[in-house]
Amino acid sequence: MDLTPYCGPLAPAADLWRTWNTDPLLLGGLLCAGLAALWYRSQRAPDQSRDRALLIASAGLIIAFVSPLCAATVALFAARTAHHLLLLGVVAPALACFLPWRALPAGLSLGLTACALILWHLPVIYGATWESAALYWLLQSALLLPGWLFWSAVLARDNRADRLLTHALLVGGLAGVMGMIGALLTFAPRALYPQHLLGAEAYGLSILQDQQLAGLIMWVPGFLPIAAVGFWMLRRGWKLGFAT
């Protein structure tokens, strides 16, 4: 299979640490976004929590698209899963804390986020991202932007019990989608993503083991922390409901 995805050709494990993405369009876009974010902060009152959120979001984007993690996603589907979790579980909530974007209701943004996750894991769509950089970035945007909208809605400072309970259920819904995908990847009887055959073997795994590892990553560092956030919201909303 002679396809070169956006993050480049397969890199040997020994050379992975040197495979930084130097795409000038990507670096220029990140630089412009960073300068715009700094300008936005300069127009606002000092806020350490927003400054930390901006730092986390910036670091997450650099790790996801510039660091060797980008190249690792070409070799291993497990790295692709870690990449998605970084965007959805770290970058998107950090962006929501830095600059809340409440353009859509939480339920609709959850639906869009879930659709993007499912699309990424459809073998025919996943294979197409290896052939088209435009489709690759379209799906990355389809995952990150609705995730930003979703976390902006559910992380809003709102002490109403009904709103907290609703948001807890929505966060639980996201965790449920991730858990379902993790289970499918872990227990699928055959490999679903032949694009990673050579990469998995080069890194000492079978293609099915790589897929199972991706499922476990989706479950443990993916599903569990998000489910814990949902449970915390549920507990807080329950207490507030009884307090009133």
Mean pLDDT check: name the lowest of 8-12, 28-32, 204-208, 222-226: 222-226
Tokens of 123: 């073998």
Whether pLDDT at 1 is above 60: no
Report the pLDDT value the prediction gives residue 23, as an integer from 0 to 100. Answer: 95
Q: Please give the residue that has the higher pLDDT: either 56 or 160.
A: 56
CA-CA distance, 87 to 91, in Å (whole number)?
5
Q: In this structure, is the dihedral angle defined by the CA atoms of residues 186, 188, 189 and 191, taken in order, positive or negative?
A: negative
pTM: 0.91
Report the pLDDT value the prediction gives residue 133, as an integer from 0 to 100. Answer: 93
pLDDT per residue over 117-175, tens digit each? 999 999 999 999 999 999 999 999 999 999 999 999 988 776 677 777 888 888 888 98
Q: In this structure, is the dihedral angle defined by the CA atoms of residues 30, 33, 38 and 44, taken in order, positive or negative?
A: negative
Report the pLDDT value the prediction gives residue 239, as an integer from 0 to 100. Answer: 66
Distance of CA 227 to the CA centre of its chain: 15
Name the nearest CA neighbour of 159 among 224, 244, 226. Answer: 244
Whether pLDDT at 232 is above 80: no
Contact between residue 161 and residue 233 where contact means Cβ atoms under 8 Å apart: no
> Which helix H or strand E contains 178, and what residues bound it?
helix 161-187
Residue 234 pLDDT level (bands cut at 50, 70, 90): confident
Q: How many CB atoms lie within 10 A of CB 42?
A: 7
Average pLDDT (201-211) is 96
Name the nearest CA neighbour of 101 among 153, 56, 159, 49. Answer: 153
Report the pLDDT value the prediction gives residue 242, as an integer from 0 to 100. Answer: 53
Q: Helices then strands (H, E): number in the chain?
A: 12, 0
Q: Which sequence spans correspond to the domains of the chain? A: 18-243
pLDDT per residue over 209-220, tens digit each? 999 999 999 988
Instruction: Give me the chain's average pLDDT, please.
Output: 90
Tokens of 78: 């497990």
Report the pLDDT value the prediction gives residue 160, as an integer from 0 to 100. Answer: 73
Whether pLDDT at 2 is above 60: no
**Distances from the Cα of 163 to the Cα of 41, 158, 168, 175, angstroms:** 29, 7, 8, 18
Give the single-character DSSP code of 206: -
